[in-house]
């Protein structure tokens, strides 16, 4: 333990404090299990915000990665390579879209979508120069560049970082009517997450995406979906928008696309949208490099070959059911889709962060969002037995909390669930 405290202190001394990590020092991981420097094992119920959807150190990913790294890793896009085409062909086929532009991080792919949408607005809709506007959702999360945090509703993301570029308008999430009212002649696109992850795994009302699709068709707008976190099986479909059987004009992917080992992102879109890019209009030194392409291709193949999308649907339903059955008095809501579940905590009873600390002690890695929601998003390779293992610990941690509705603490979980029933 002293060892890890020393390591943490040393890290903090030289690291900008833009994160507040849980007090654990991880040193290795395989599959859904991670080990700290003291040899203690943890079940990863967070999977790096979906970046590790395939589990840690997937053997096929490691093999593809090391083979490709030894053969040809980084070339820049000044040259063709023999892996970029196969990777993007697979991506295009899976999404039902036409053309992809590879980048590295999620935020870069969002920036790419913003550029594409604006240029499309000027060229295809004749919007006046520099007047294009993109409608976004309240409580959105699309990354951390200055343009993106500029349209965030979270003050802590924005404070002190202005001036921000204009051209964005925020509209309440889940309200298609409000989105309709916000459209003007300057609007070129609607950009939303199909399920808001960082906001606390917030599901819109059923039919929302369909309504947005109809709105965009009617008013000639682009529907841009940020599926950096919700995509690639996380919600029990390949892409969250498939729950409503719609097709976006632009689809933003990242996180799991890198197989848990490397940043790989992309904007995938219709030919009509992606045609706005010509040589020189956009780029990235590392975007689409052979190593990234090979890893991305292998990640997609692993998800397909191992049936991880179906697995996410089935085990996600099980996890949701188990968490709902917990009936703790401090839980305000349990919601989610696939292996992506948020447990909202009554903030007067406990902080989600302190629950994360307690879970950590029991050997479960989780992370709160906005202090009130516990997030469970394990690798899609998790087994039912491992979910049971986690649930035992989760139930124990919740059972230890005092009942917020009892004037005297120490209500047993059985009494607590009775009281709520
Ligand atoms: C994580 C995330 C991003 C940003 O991805 P980075 O790789 O951190 O830049 C964008 N959109 C959504 C929905 C995300 O969850």
226 a catalytic residue: yes
Backbone angles phi, psi at 162, to 5 degrees: -75, 175
Write down the catalytic residue from 44, 87, 141, 173: 141
Q: Span 55-60, mean pLDDT?
A: 98
Q: Span 256-260, mean pLDDT?
A: 98
Backbone angles phi, psi at 115, to 5 degrees: -60, -45
CA of residue 265 to ligand 1 center, whole Å:
10
Tell how far CA 188 is from the center of its chain. Answer: 25
Write down the catalytic residue from 255, 368, 376, 403: 255
CB-ligand 1 contact for 229 (6 Å cutoff): yes
Q: Helix, strand, or coil here: 138? A: coil
Q: Which of 141, 195, 259, 265 to mutate to test the pocket of ligand 1 (most atoms within 8 A of CB)?
A: 141
Share of the chain above pLDDT 90, in %: 93
- Please determine, looking at this structure, whether the domain spanning 2-56+307-399 carries the CATH number 1.10.8.80: no
Q: Which of 296, 268, 238 is nearest to 113 (CA)?
A: 268
Alpha-carbon radius of gyration of the chain: 22
Considering the four listed CATH numbers 3.30.750.24, 3.40.640.10, 3.20.20.370, 3.40.718.10, the one that applies to the domain covering 59-305 is 3.40.640.10
Tokens representing residue 40 in the block: 């203690």
Q: Helix, strand, or coil here: 132? A: coil
141 a catalytic residue: yes
**Nearest atom in ligand 1 to 229's CA:** 15
Tokens representing residue 47 in the block: 């999977």
What are the b/e assignments for 165-198, b being 16+ CB within 10 Å? eebbbebebbbbeebbebbeeebbbbbbbbbbbb
Question: Please, which pLDDT band fits residue 402 given cuts at 50, 70 and 90?
Answer: confident
pTM over 0.85: yes
CB-ligand 1 contact for 234 (6 Å cutoff): no
Q: Is the pLDDT of residue 210 over 90?
A: yes
Question: Please, which pLDDT band fits residue 371 given cuts at 50, 70 and 90?
Answer: confident
d(CA 129, CA 115): 13
List the Cα angle 159/376/329 in 5-degree steps.
95
Same fold, 2-56+307-399 and 59-305: no
DSSP letters spanning 334-365: EEESSS-EEEEE-TTT--HHHHHHHHHHHTEE
Q: Is the pLDDT of residue 288 over 90?
A: yes
Domain borders along the chain are 2-56+307-399, 59-305
Q: Span 11-27, mean pLDDT?
A: 97
List the Cα angle 66/70/72 in 5-degree steps.
110
Q: What is the pLDDT of residues 305-353, one digit of tens each?
A: 999 999 999 999 999 999 999 989 999 999 999 999 999 999 999 999 9
Q: Span 123-134, mean pLDDT?
A: 98
């Amino acid at each position: 333990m002293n060892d890890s405290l020393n390591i943490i202190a040393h890290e903090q001394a030289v690291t900008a404090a833009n994160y507040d990590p849980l007090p654990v020092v991880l040193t290795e991981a395989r599959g859904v299990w991670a080990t700290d420097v003291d040899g203690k094992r943890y079940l990863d119920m967070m999977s790096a915000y979906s970046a590790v959807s395939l589990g840690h150190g997937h053997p096929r990913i490691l093999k593809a990665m090391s083979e490709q790294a030894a053969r040809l890793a980084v070339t820049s896009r000044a040259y063709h390579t023999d892996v970029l085409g196969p990777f993007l062909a697979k991506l295009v086929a899976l999404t039902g879209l036409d053309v992809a532009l590879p980048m590295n991080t999620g935020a870069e792919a969002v920036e790419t979508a913003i550029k594409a949408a604006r240029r499309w607005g000027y060229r295809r809709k004749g919007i006046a120069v520099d007047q294009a506007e993109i409608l976004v959702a309240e409580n959105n999360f699309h990354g951390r560049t200055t343009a993106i945090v500029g349209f965030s509703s979270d003050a802590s993301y924005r404070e002190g970082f202005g001036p921000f570029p204009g051209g964005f308008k925020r509209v309440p999430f889940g309200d298609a009517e409000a989105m309709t009212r916000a459209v003007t002649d300057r609007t070129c696109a609607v950009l939303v997450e199909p399920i808001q992850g960082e906001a606390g795994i917030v599901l819109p009302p059923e039919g929302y995406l369909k309504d947005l699709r109809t709105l965009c068709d009617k008013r000639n707008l682009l529907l841009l979906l940020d599926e950096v976190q919700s995509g690639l099986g996380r919600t029990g479909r390949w892409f969250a928008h498939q729950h409503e059987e719609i097709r976006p004009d632009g689809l933003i992917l990242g996180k799991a696309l890198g197989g848990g080992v490397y940043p790989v992102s992309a904007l995938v879109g219709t030919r009509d949208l992606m045609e706005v890019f010509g040589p020189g209009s956009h780029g990235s030194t590392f975007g689409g490099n052979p190593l990234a392409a090979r890893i991305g291709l292998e990640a997609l193949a692993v998800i397909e070959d191992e049936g991880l999308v179906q697995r996410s649907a089935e085990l996600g339903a099980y996890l949701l059911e188990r968490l709902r059955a917990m009936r703790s008095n401090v839980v305000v809501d349990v919601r989610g889709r696939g292996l992506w579940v948020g447990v909202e905590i009554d903030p007067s009873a406990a902080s989600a962060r302190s629950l994360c600390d307690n879970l950590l002690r029991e050997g479960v890695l989780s992370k709160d969002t906005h202090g009130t929601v516990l997030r469970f998003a394990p690798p899609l390779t998790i087994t039912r037995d491992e979910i049971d293992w986690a649930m035992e610990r989760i139930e124990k941690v919740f059972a230890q909390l005092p009942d917020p509705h009892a004037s005297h603490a120490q209500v047993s979980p059985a009494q607590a669930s009775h009281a709520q029933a």
